[in-house]
Amino acid sequence: MSFKQKKLALLLLAPLLVSLTAMTLVTQEAETDASTAGLTYLEPEIKHARTAEEILSKLQRRHYEKRPFNDHISSLLLDTYLDNLDPNKSYFTAADVAQFEQYRFALDDGMRRGNLKPSFIMFNRYRDIAIDHLERIIGDLPNDVAALNFSRDETIELDSETLKWATNDEERDERVRKSLKNSVLSLRLSDKDDEAILEALEKRYKNQLNRLKQLNAEDVFQVYMNSLVGLYDPHSNYMSPRTSENFSINMSLSLEGIGAVLSSDGEYTVVERLVKGGPAELQGDLKPKDRITGVAQGNEGEVEDVVGWRLDEVVQLIRGKKNTTVKLEVQNKDSANQFESKYIKIVRNKVKLEEQAAQKEVLDIHHDGALKKIGVVQVPTFYHDYEAAMRGEKNVRSTTRDVRLLLSELDEEGVDGIVIDLRGNGGGYLEEARTLTGLFVERGPVVQIRMSNGKIKSEANYPNPEHYDKPIVVLIDRLSASASEIFAGAIQDYRRGLIIGSQSFGKGTVQQVTSLNHGALKLTEAKYYRVSGDSTQHRGVIPDIALPSLYDASEIGEDTLDHALNWDQVPPLRHRRYGDFAPITEQIKQKHEVRIKDDPDYRYLIEQIKLNDKYNAMSALPLNLEVRQAMIEQDESERESIENELRIAKGLPPLDKENKDGDKTAANGESQSDGSTSPIATQENASTVTNQEDADEEDNDARTDFLLTEAANILLDAITLSNSPSLPLQDRVAANALAKPPAKNIPASTATH
């Protein structure tokens, strides 16, 4: 080797030697901290190194997007892993993170060689800092709580993603103080006294401390691998042997639960969506984006605080035997007091097929001076009883079979058209989406599937000359996903019906679970595309006629998820177009705008959305007790006001406001003990309700499904305009998908629900 080559070699080795020296120092420091705390210093095992190599190989060979595993991914992995360890930036400081910068462009090279030590070094450091802080908080808790000043004007940031790492220990400690203050304030506003507050917080912190001390090498490996896999897309993930076993149990539906899909958001467990027909959905109180902060067993069981717990641990606590009760402590973000807890009791059960089955009803709609009948087919999910099919049973329950029967029954009831209600339908069996489309489209392709190797295959329907040919519209919302989007997209592409509602979720990817030597890997291996060539991924289905939604599109949807795959296109497929709604769409929108202008249900929905948006837009919460209390009272007052506006507009009495002594007062604050009419109640029968059970019953009368009713009205507008003599003949022919008149001489029937 020449002198120049030796010099070059030394220059190339110098950064590596510095890096190895720094790594050794960090390792020694972490080992010392662990030893001092009486903990075992966690290190990767051989099985972890081999599994990491296996995961990396499958990611590069089988994932839909062939992203190179390079320095860019390594840099993202470092940031993501640190965020996953310390999501609220409560423990690491900028100085701690700076020590880990040596790994930024080395994690990719290390993983190829099965070197996972950097991930364990960072975890051990995190664990030691967190344990030290929690022990200090627990020891000083009574004094720290007593020292809090709730008349001081200060705020706490709500979005940890916008926070940077604390520049020093003092700034980090200030964040911890504000977090403690917010917890105490929230508990006070929930009517807990100081003793109960101290007890609740001490238990929470001790639980977090115990969990930290119990974490093992398997836990570290799972967090690190999911930090990597999640960089490829949000639906791919690594499952440890324990998690993989739970996943298999879930897929076989052999374990009872509440029927909710949960995810992690920082230190909170969050409800992603409810399974249609599941115990939680039927109970009615749990909502998407609710935070689960505590779980109790039975009606009177003690609530166990689960803030900071791993997702699989929370899921394990919520599960249980059929017909047993689980009590959830829940917080809702759509209010001024988003840290206020409420308790929801749910009886565990299996998700029953009959509860998920398609259902029908008939709406009597007064439209243009005439009474019309519109059939509604609610499709909660795309299901098929394959177990019954394997047993050789006839007439196996499935979405397509059940909807076919419902359409026949609705025809006998003389409906003018059909609303297919897919709101809240998160998907299910792809085959059912294909065959359901075949009930309304005579023949042709339904969906295209592009594999990771670039090959595209299409799923089509067989000829169905007896397809349903009455006018239809499809109602969707932000929770309509996957198979729902395939069906709605096909109906829109074939121009078989109008799509009404809000933009759908945008979940257009396909996952496969593959076993590993240690655990399992769920990978995104394909994407769905419509017959038009547009992907349903990321963008979802855009409705022809938009309706307002209570679901915040900035909080729910594929485009809100980190590293979601992009929208794109493939070549379109030849397919029939049953009509062209362009000539009448603008007139439909105009009629819709005129109709909703003075509609009390529409105003009620819009005011609800405004209030929710107001609090969702808040980036910080006040920590001043009086200011916070005033916010809550204003929120309650505003919500009560819009509720009473709806009731009064419908000729119903306003709700009472219960004061602290339990006495009832009218909505305007004046005593109504004599049962006289409230001054704000202008309708003749709008006297004040003095019995809460009566009020609850009348709530059901006051609140109607505005979105469903308006979808029915839009369908009738489309039918009328399609047949209008004022519409040019060529446009009437173009809009023939909605032009076919209803069958004649069918006896009318009363509304069926």
Residue with tokens 């749910």: 346
Q: Distance (Å, rounded) from C-alpha 479 to C-alpha 457?
A: 27
H-helix or E-strand containing 493? helix 483-493
Q: Distance (Å, rounded) from C-alpha 65 to C-alpha 231?
A: 11
Instruction: Extract the tokens encoding 695.
Output: 């009020």
Choose, from 244, 341, 482, 678, the residue flagged as catalytic.
482
Closest to 123 in 3D by CA, of 194, 222, 252, 234: 222
DSSP string, 614-666: HHHT-SEEE--HHHHHHHHHHHHHHHHHHHHHHHHHTT-PPPPEE-TTS-EE-
Closest to 186 in 3D by CA, of 637, 661, 621: 621
Which residues are registered as beta bridge partners of 378? 359, 421
If one counts every other C-beta atom within 10 angstroms of the C-beta of residue 354, the result is: 8
Q: Is 507 a catalytic residue?
A: yes
Cα separation values, 230 from 262, 479, 524, 565, Å: 16, 22, 11, 11
Residue with tokens 């078989």: 496
H-helix or E-strand containing 5? helix 3-36
Which residues are registered as beta bridge partners of 677? 687
Decide if 287 contacts 296 (C-beta within 8 A): no
Decide if 446 contacts 483 (C-beta within 8 A): no
Instruction: Extract the tokens encoding 114.
Output: 């099965």
Q: Distance (Å, rounded) from C-alpha 482 to C-alpha 487?
A: 9
Choose, from 33, 233, 493, 635, the residue flagged as catalytic.
493
Q: Distance (Å, rounded) from C-alpha 654 to C-alpha 638?
A: 14
The one-character DSSP state at 560 is G
Which residues are registered as beta bridge partners of 342? 330
Instruction: Extract the tokens encoding 277.
Output: 């027909």
Q: Is 544 a catalytic residue?
A: no
If one counts every other C-beta atom within 10 angstroms of the C-beta of residue 109, the result is: 13
Helix (H, G, I), strand (E, B) or coil at 582: helix
CA angle 469, 473, 477 (to 5 degrees): 150
H-helix or E-strand containing 84? helix 71-85
Diameter of the chain measured on Cα atoms? 106
Helix (H, G, I), strand (E, B) or coil at 218: helix
Q: Distance (Å, rounded) from C-alpha 495 to C-alpha 559?
A: 26
Residue with tokens 């200030």: 174
Q: Distance (Å, rounded) from C-alpha 290 to C-alpha 301?
A: 21
Residue with tokens 């105490």: 184
Q: Is 493 a catalytic residue?
A: yes
Q: Distance (Å, rounded) from C-alpha 577 to C-alpha 54?
A: 47
Q: Distance (Å, rounded) from C-alpha 738 to C-alpha 719?
A: 5
Choose, from 181, 327, 333, 507, the residue flagged as catalytic.
507
Decide if 379 contacts 421 (C-beta within 8 A): yes
H-helix or E-strand containing 451? strand 444-451
Backbone region of residue 283 per phi and psi (left: phi > 0; alpha: psi in -120 to 50; beta: other values) = alpha
Closest to 137 in 3D by CA, of 90, 194, 96, 93: 90
The one-character DSSP state at 746 is P
Instruction: Extract the tokens encoding 196.
Output: 């109960």
How many helices (H) and strands (E) would you count in the chain?
A: 23, 21
Instruction: Extract the tokens encoding 484.
Output: 């729902």
**Active site residues per annotation:** 482, 493, 507
